[in-house]
Amino acid sequence: MAPLLSTPLFTGHNEAYLPIMKSGMHALQVTSGPMIMAFFLGLQMLKKKLTDKHASTFYSDVWKFFSKAEARDKVGRIVQYGCRMLQGILAHLPKDSALQLCKPLVAECQTTLAWARRTHRWGKEMPHIPTLGKAISNCDVLQAAQSMVLITFLVQDHIYWLLKVGILKFTNYTPIQWHRRNLRFITLSHVLNFSLCIREIMQVKKKLQDAEAKGNEDAVKKAKSTIYDNKRMMVRYVLTFIQMLHVSQVKQMDDWYIGMMGMISSYIDASKQWTPTVSAPPQPTPSGAMPAGQAMGA
């Protein structure tokens, strides 16, 4: 009669909960997960002792940030371009440098992140299709052009994924050739996005003048915030334009500063996903009334 389990569940097997330890390193490997868990538990209990509560607004904000797919994607992009920067730095070090041992590890990390992000881009063109339809209906040539180029890039990016895994085969293109050709579309998209930012700034400046003339402080504040956000994105589009020129091999530059540009542009994108919890202002105590603590005899 065949045994119920193919391998022991609790002990006696290398994949069991409690494998037979073959060395100190083996024990360290097996206990690494529980030790990290215990470390976080210790931090949490220390926090409870110092603040008398387990909840943390900052922790909740961090978790809320990482719950967003777009935020995780941009953090991954920061690390991806950080790896590119490290590869660029390593390329300038002597070949016999001990740090060269890190080069294959950094390259593998960069490639793995790039493909993970590309896999999760499936469907990312969907929100841009209604924007394209609306732009065409409104005869907005600039927005329509940007949406068309961006959607084309995303669809062709999926084709690159299919080529890479072997589901599709093109006789005239290798996967990398197709990818580099496709990067020229996103390069053009950054130019069009830059133009859209300029257009919006010009439109908002007119509204700002009207709001200042009327003394509408809320409208002035909102207009200035919109202008600032657009200028920030213009910096982002300049950086990504230069990055894509390099990655697509249109103009070969150096990985170390291209990687740094990628980290900065990714930070700008990631920061848009950060929405900190705003604490409610304390309610004023009515004139002549006792604070709640005193009224309770505290």
What are the sequence ranges of the domains in the chain? 124-270
pLDDT tens for each residue of 5-34: 888 889 889 999 999 999 999 999 999 999
What pLDDT, on a 0 to 100 scale, did the predictor assign at position 278? 74
What pLDDT, on a 0 to 100 scale, did the predictor assign at position 291? 46
- The total number of residues written for the chain in this structure: 298
Residues 195, 197: Cα–Cα separation, whole Å: 5
Query: Comparing C-alpha atoms, which of 195, 263, 268 is closest to residue 229?
Result: 268
Q: Which residues pair with 11 in a beta bridge?
A: 18
What pLDDT, on a 0 to 100 scale, did the predictor assign at position 28? 95
Q: Which residues pair with 18 in a beta bridge?
A: 11
Query: Comparing C-alpha atoms, which of 126, 1, 113, 84 is closest to residue 260?
Result: 84
- Give this prediction's pTM: 0.86
What pLDDT, on a 0 to 100 scale, did the predictor assign at position 152? 98
Those residues of the chain that have pLDDT short of 70 are 1-2, 279-298
